[in-house]
Amino acid sequence: MLPPVAPPIRLLLGPGPSEIHPRVLAAMAEPTVGHLDPYYLSLMNDMQQLLRGVFRTENKMTLAVSGTGSAGMECCVVNLIEPGDSMVVCVNGVFGGRMVDVAERAGAKVTRVERPWGEVFEPAHLKDALKAKPKVVGIVMAETSTGAHQPLEEISKLVHDAGALLLVDAVTSLGGMPVEVDGWQIDAIYSGSQKCLSCPPGLAPVSFGPRAMEALGRRKTKVQSWYLDLSMLAKYWGEERVYHHTAPINMTYALYEGLRLLDEEGLEKSFARHALNHQALAAGLAAIGIDYAAAAEHRLPTLNAVRVPAGVDDAWVRRELLTRFGIEIGAGLGDFKGKVWRVGLMGHASRAKNVLLFLSALEQLLGEQKHRFQAGASIAAANAVYSGRA
């Protein structure tokens, strides 16, 4: 007989999934009901209310797509794009590139606007591309592959002045840093359950504003994806409750509980917690000679992309962190493959004890790799941040 499921206990400090809160795990074990059961329909309504709060929006069409964050991306793109539509996509990492691929598969005529990995876009970088009057402009707010945070307010104004819709990837930012859908006039946005919302992967929160819904209503062709067609999903998530697909019931329990936890903590307190733990980690890494891939003013508080020190074996350190200490961190992708480590401090994982444990384990391994630093310097620097002495 094959063995039962018995996964090792890991501290998930990679780019996702992140550590899952015990209350979320407990919620997932509750009895399954039908996807049209009155209890489940009521829970859907409550979850929509919580999602509007974390997105900071009044958008009626705010829901959780059945699938991971990439399904959220595809949902947004295929509903807004018809074959032949023009779309500008900002690419400064893996996930901007993925948006290009999804848009091209949907039949869009895509213009790539590119920046070096780890850098962000200024409004001036988009002006030439916007002269062609694209239908949609897509941009990644929190680029998971580089740890760079993209400011959106000025770009949003520029996009709307050009008559385009703004589509935003908030997979690694929602819940861990401010996301202002209404305040920044974001037309469509997507995220994932497995990052700052402290849930397993499996649901993709999305929100569509009035301009996006008007564009959907003017379509001349059917949405490319039956499963992700918002005109049908809206009938299931709206008052009609028309059956569309069998929703992942227990994953909905999980996301609902994750959002309840965030609501209990308060968004501002969550943002402050993520920022503090990021600052402590950054101070600790700087003390042992480790730099970030993104400039200080554009670093994500949720995902720390840091450069592997010269002479240190990237893969060996990651493997030893996992096998000796049970700590998972992420490798570099694309242009950053073999050059950076990606350390996530998202949701339930963003805690001081995790920062201090990771730094302690990393110091031990770096010492074995003959990297020169003062022993204990990272812990002292992080503790100085936590005690207010830094």
Contact 202, 248 (CB under 8 A): yes
Closest among 142, 146, 70 to 342, alpha carbons compared: 146
Helices (H), 5-148: 22-28, 38-55, 69-80, 94-105, 127-130
Place of tokens 């001036």: 124
What's the fold here for domain 265-386? Answer: Aspartate Aminotransferase, domain 1 (3.90.1150)
Supply the pLDDT for residue 82: 98
Mean pLDDT of 113-139: 97
* Residue 315, SS3 per DSSP: helix
Could you give the CA distance from residue 160 to residue 212 in angstroms, rounded to a whole number? 12
Strands 11-12 and 188-190: unpaired
Contact between residue 379 and residue 360 where contact means Cβ atoms under 8 Å apart: yes
Burial 23-35 (b: 16+ CB within 10 A, else e): bbeebbeeeeeeb
pLDDT of residue 389: 76
**pLDDT of res. 208:** 98
Residue ranges per structural domain of the chain: 21-264, 265-386
What is the C-alpha to C-alpha distance for residues 30 and 44, in angstroms, rounded to an integer? 16
Options 3.40.640.10, 3.40.47.10, 3.40.50.970, 3.30.360.10; which CATH number does 21-264 get? 3.40.640.10
* Helix (H) / strand (E) containing 314: helix 314-325
At 229-251, the pLDDT tens digits run 999 999 999 989 999 999 999 99
Sorting pLDDT into bands at 50, 70 and 90, what band is 201?
very high
Q: What is the pLDDT of residues 136-180, one digit of tens each?
A: 999 999 999 999 999 999 999 999 999 999 999 999 999 999 999
Give the span between the Cα atoms of 367 and 341, in whole angstroms: 17
Residue 390, beta-bridge partner list:
none
pLDDT for 21:
97
Count of H-run helices and E-run strands, the chain:
13, 14
- Amino acid 298: pLDDT: 96
Amino acid at 144: T
Q: What is the mean pLDDT of residues 106-124?
A: 97
Give the up-direction half-sphere exposure of residue 238: CA atoms within 13 A in the CB hemisphere: 11
Q: Which pLDDT score is estimated for 241?
A: 93
> What value does the mean pLDDT of the chain take?
97
pLDDT digits (tens, 9 = 90+) for 333-388: 999 999 999 999 999 999 999 999 999 999 999 999 999 999 999 999 999 999 99
Rounded Cα distance, 85 and 82, in Å: 6
Domains 21-264 and 265-386 share a fold: no
pLDDT at 390: 66
For helices 69-80 and 94-105, what crossing angle results, to 10°?
40
b or e along 90-129 (b: 16 or more beta carbons within 10 Å of the residue's beta carbon)?
Answer: bbbbbbbbbbbebbeebbbebbebebebbbbbeeebbeeb
What is the per-residue pLDDT across 26-36, written as a single tens digit (0 to 9) for each? 999 999 999 99
Residue 204 host element (H or E): strand 203-208
